[in-house]
Every structure is written in C-alpha cells, then in structure tokens.
Amino acid sequence: MTKKELSILLSKLKVFEKPVIKLEQYSTDPEIAGETLWFALMQGDVKDKVIADLGSGTGILGLGAILLGAKKAFLVDIDTKAIELGIGNKAFLEKETGLKLNAAFCAGDVNVFDEKVDVVIMNPPFGTKNEKIDTIFLFKAMNIADVIYSFHKASTKDYIDKLVKDNGFETTHYKEYDFPIKMSMPMHKKRIERIRVGLWRIKKVIK
C-alpha cells in the first residue's frame, strides 16, 4: 500500500457525527494521519509492533497502523459511541482490503488502560476543555511505551518538551501541521477552522 492509497482509504472512514465538546472529539485529517503513520513506518515503529492508540476516537490512527503491518493495536476511548464507530470502521476496512485487522477495542478512561506496548500513536484531547488532559495522556503513554507519536497544540511546545525531558524521554522529531477541524459545534462560526498542531516523536532515553 502506498501513502496515497492509505490516506484515501482512511478518508472513507466514518467520523464523529455529534462530537462531544467536553471530550474534545476532533478526528485527525486523513491526509495528516496517513503521513504520520507513513513516517512512523519509515522509522521502524509500525511493522510487527504492538501499538496503542489512546483516545482513539473513530480509530483512524490505530486502524491505519494495522493496515501498515502492525501486529496488533489497542484502541482506547472513554466514549462508547466512538468505540462503536471504530468497530464499524474496522469492519469496513476488512471488507475493503480483505485483511483481518487485529484491533482490540477498550472502552474506558485512558488512566485505566495498562497494557505494555511497543509504540503509542495518539491524537489525544488538546486540553482546551480540561487543562490537564493532554498531560494525563502523555504520562500514560510514557508509562506503557518507549516510543510515542503524539499530537499537541504547537503553542504548548516548550511545556511538552520540558515534560518529556523531565521524565527520561527525548524529542527525536517534531513537525507542525495546520490541522483542519470541521466544526459542527455551536461556538464556532466558521465551518472549517485551522489550528497549529505539532507532532512529537519521543523516545525513552536509555542510560
């Protein structure tokens, strides 16, 4: 599968119909998801790896990782509606590709998830509604994996870099995207809004 084919396939997945505002439910743009997963594949972080997608939403990152050869992915989300959409997306992809996707759906708070995995790939809530939530996700990721791909608001770069360093990890790669966010939420007037988002690849420092 090429990067382009991956993005096209991911663009056919169902996304949130009625996003829950307090859970910050925004689906990752398929183009950006495809690029991120491809980048992770090139780093040797996907093929035959066990992945966790924390705050998996409708499953674009975790399911995409399996399409690129991950051994298994855990998809963790607190919202059962999101999990249901993820299960539907898995079935759709299996039909579309003829592959059997090894996805384990876990409905519950990210704090309760406790499997050790090789790599976390996540686009968690950015913490606009709940200030500490991005930190909670990052701590959990550092607890269960040595390599992490995570999206955060670019404006929090210094804060994230410090948190990473203070916890025995290092930022090996960083890139920024203009995240298109479809707004079906009453407080936003424009249909598509763009926010500057950073993608971190962080790795545990081996002493």
DSSP string, 136-191: HHHHHHHHH-SEEEEEEEGGGHHHHHHHHHHTTEEEEEEEEEEEEEE--STT--SS
Q: Which one of 36, 56, 89, 150 is in contact with ligand SAH (CB under 6 A)?
A: 56
| Strands ordered across the beta sheet of 119-122 | 103-107, 72-77, 50-54, 119-122, 147-153, 192-204, 169-182
Burial status of residue 158 (CB atoms within 10 A of its CB: 0-12, 13-18, 19 or more): exposed
- Which of 112, 205 has the CB closer to ligand SAH? 112
Q: Which one of 6, 23, 63, 154 is in contact with ligand SAH (CB under 6 A)?
A: 23
Q: Which one of 30, 34, 55, 198 is in contact with ligand SAH (CB under 6 A)?
A: 55
Q: Does 150 bind ligand SAH (CB under 6 A)?
A: no
Rounded to a whole number of angstroms, the minimum distance from the CB of residue 166 to ligand SAH is 22
Q: Does 107 bind ligand SAH (CB under 6 A)?
A: no
Q: Does 123 bind ligand SAH (CB under 6 A)?
A: yes
Q: Does 125 bind ligand SAH (CB under 6 A)?
A: yes
- In the block, tokens 């210094």 appear at 158
Contact 13, 58 (CB under 8 A): yes
Q: Which one of 6, 51, 73, 110 is in contact with ligand SAH (CB under 6 A)?
A: 110
Residues 167-186 that bind ligand SAH (CB under 6 A): none
Give me the residues that bind ligand SAH (CB under 6 A), please: 23-28, 55-58, 60-61, 76-79, 82, 109-110, 123-125, 133
